[in-house]
Structure 1
Amino acid sequence: MNVLSALRIRISTAVLAASVLLGTALLLWGADALARWTAESYVARQVQALTGVLELPAVEVHGTFFLPQVLSGRYEHVEIAVEDLRSGPLRLERMTADLSGVHVSFADLVGQDVVPIYIEESEERATLTFEDLNHYLDATGRPVRVESAPAGEVLLTGTVEVFGREVSASSRVVVGADDGSLSVRPTGLETGTVLDAAGQALLRQRFTFLVPMDPLPFGQRIEGITTGETAFEIEAGGDGLLVEP
């Protein structure tokens, strides 16, 4: 065998090896991409069944190499975005969640079974607009409403019954968290009606309320509230969650 023939054989062997490696890489990439899409679609349907939203939520499962996550049944980082989230009369305009340690077995993923999903830790951010909050207050029989005030404050106004009298009042409010609910409390009520101590206490009670954050699907532990011009931005979280559709 001459040198030229040997060189040709070596080149052919190298090309064949490169082709095999490239083909294998493409197959693995395709399998990885298909597995990622399957997992994202599965989680999206699970969240849709859990929340009852009409549009399929947006789901992104992170990780450079995805097949190992599929085979282990544990997804390190999952991002979810849901629009128009409702529970009874309360509506959240938008909710996004960062989930850590989402457990979905390989068998359930392949069978597309609707089963509870275990989540190690969640961080949620939700938008509650003043308009949606006022709708909730009206639907639950509270004759008060919120609106924006100067300097980033919130004004609460309304006409309520105090010992058989209709009393109109307004107040700046303090917004906080109370055991999984959004709490709204007046700071100093202003009214043109003269009231005794008992009447003032009842008026303050009428202007104080809680809004349960029941629409949040991944834990209602409120960790922060920011007041914007037209909405409250709510941060919540949870850990060791068993989410059942």
Structure 2
Amino acid sequence: MTQEYAYEERPRRRGRKVLVTLVVLLLVLGGLLVVADRVAAGVAERAITDQVRQEVAKQGAQSSPPSVEVGGFPFLTQVLDGRYERISIGMTDVRASVQGDAVTLPKLDVDARNVTASLDTIRSGQGEVVAETVNGTGTISYESLAALLDREGLTLGERDGRLAVTAPVNILGQRLTVNGTADVTVGEQGEVALRFKDLAAEGLPNVPLARTLLNNYAQSISIDVPLPDLPFQLAVREVRPLPEGLAVTADAKNVPINAAT
């Protein structure tokens, strides 16, 4: 009986060892495939980073080195298919000159969806990489806007979801502090329209001339701010005040996201 029992156990143990070995090999192979997939994605991300840097330079703008992330997994199957789920591009300190004045976007995030690029384009670097939709979100610093208004001591910020202004003003020989808010809209050419209304100043003399001078000041700082050309043909759709700056939302369709080669 003992010999028969030992004979039966030996094949079972051998079968378990084979099964464990196969599982280990599959795990190792899976890990290697994941590593290879991420390495390939990293190569693509570096290539797109270079293209984005060229695209920004073509617009006459400057920024810190962009960060690029290729979304979707696995990456290699997307390469073979020639279609990528998402490419995210992040840029900081985007600067451009608008009519001689510097406009700064501390942050610009671009999200490209359903990106098409042939395997030959990826391999050779020639040809277009086209995104079906591109959405961009960025901020304009209040310091940049205040510099464009060019009024000594004027500061801008957000108050209850609106663009707020505080500034010292001389009215009828008195130094007063003006406070108020502005309507912010997007113009037909993509410019940001600032319209300051209902400004108030504590201690304002109760005479018509004082109110007229305050209204004149409101008109003088109500301007259209032309934004720099955004990369990837992005068109501004919405602008709204946030604590960190004026938030800009832009989008575009069927856009090449690589510079012409």
After TM superposition, the score normalised by the length of structure 1 is 0.73
Deviation at 1:218, TM superposition (A): 3.5
Contact 1:35–1:70 at 8 Å: present in 2 too?
Answer: no
Residue 156 of structure 2, aligned match among 139, 147, 150: 147
**2:142 aligns with one of 130, 154, 159:** 130
Query: Whole-Å Cα distance in 2 between the matches of residues 229 and 13 of structure 1?
Result: 62
Q: Distance in 1 between matches of 2:215 and 2:233?
A: 34
Give me the whole-angstrom Cα distance separating, in 1, the residues matched to 2:232 and 2:109. Answer: 10
Partner of 2:173: none
Q: 1:16 to 1:220 in 2, by over 3 A?
A: closer
Q: How does 1:143-222 map to 2 (within 5 A)?
A: 147-148=156-157, 151=160, 152-155=162-165, 172-179=181-188, 180-188=190-198, 206-222=220-236
CA distance in 1, matches of 2:116, 2:28: 31
SS in 2 for 1:218: helix
String of CA shifts for 1:200-227, please: whole Å, max 9, x gaps: 9998775443223334323433332221
Q: Distance in 2 between matches of 1:185 and 1:98?
A: 31
In the TM superposition, 1:1-245 aligns within 5 A as 3=8, 6-7=11-12, 10-11=15-16, 13-52=18-57, 53=62, 55-88=64-97, 89-111=102-124, 113=125, 116-137=128-149, 147-148=156-157, 151=160, 152-155=162-165, 172-179=181-188, 180-188=190-198, 206-229=220-243, 231-245=245-259
Query: Aligned pair count?
Result: 229
Q: 1:60 to 1:150 in 2, by over 3 A?
A: closer
Task: Look up the SS of the partner of 2:140 in the other structure.
Answer: strand
Q: Indicate the larger mover: 118-127 or 234-243.
A: 234-243
- For structure 2, the residue ranges without an aligned partner over 5 or more in a row are 1-6, 170-177
Give the superposition deviation at 1:105.
2.8
- Matched AA of 2:235: R
Aligned to 1:64, what secondary structure does the other structure show? coil
How far did 1:97 drift?
2.0
CA RMSD for the aligned pairs? 3.8
Range that drifts further, 114-123 or 91-100: 114-123
The answer for unaligned runs of 5 or more in structure 1 is 160-168
Shift of 1:109: 2.5
CA separation in 2, counterparts of 1:135 and 1:38? 41
The answer as to whether partners of 2:129 and 2:256 remain within 8 angstroms in 1 is: yes
Counterpart AA for 1:125:
T
Q: TM-score, normalised by structure 2?
A: 0.69
Residues 84 and 115 in structure 2, CA contact (< 8 A), matched pair in contact too: yes
Question: 1:124 corresponds to which letter in structure 2?
Answer: G
